[in-house]
Amino acid sequence: MYVVLMYDIMTDEKGAKVHRNVFKISKRYLTHIQKSVFEGNLTELKLFKLKQELNQYIRKDKDSLIIFKSREERWLSKEFLGIEDDKTSNFF
C-alpha cells in the first residue's frame, strides 16, 4: 500500500529528541520528501512495525502524526507548487 506520513512535534525540552527519533524511524521505512513528510510503499506488516516504533516516541498530549493510506500511488494525485524535489530521480 502507498503511505504518506506527516508529523508535528512540539518544540519543548524533550521535543528535539522526539523529533530526531521520529525522523530516523520514518526514514528507515519511507522516503523523506519534505521537512516532516515521508512517502512510500509498505506492506501491512511493515506499516504495523512502523506504527509500533513511532508509538514509543509520539507524546499523545503534545505531538501529532498522520498517516494517509492508499492501495497504490497511482490512486493519489500529487501536485507541487514551488520547488519540486524529486527524491526518486537519483535511481537508475
Q: Give CA–CA dist 35/83, Å, rounded.
A: 13
- Annotated binding residues, as ranges? 8
- Contact in structure between 65 and 6 (CB atoms under 8 Å): yes
- Give the count of beta carbons closer than 10 Å to the beta carbon of residue 16: 11
Alpha helices in 37-83 (DSSP H): 44-55
- Annotated binding residues for Mg(2+), as ranges? 8
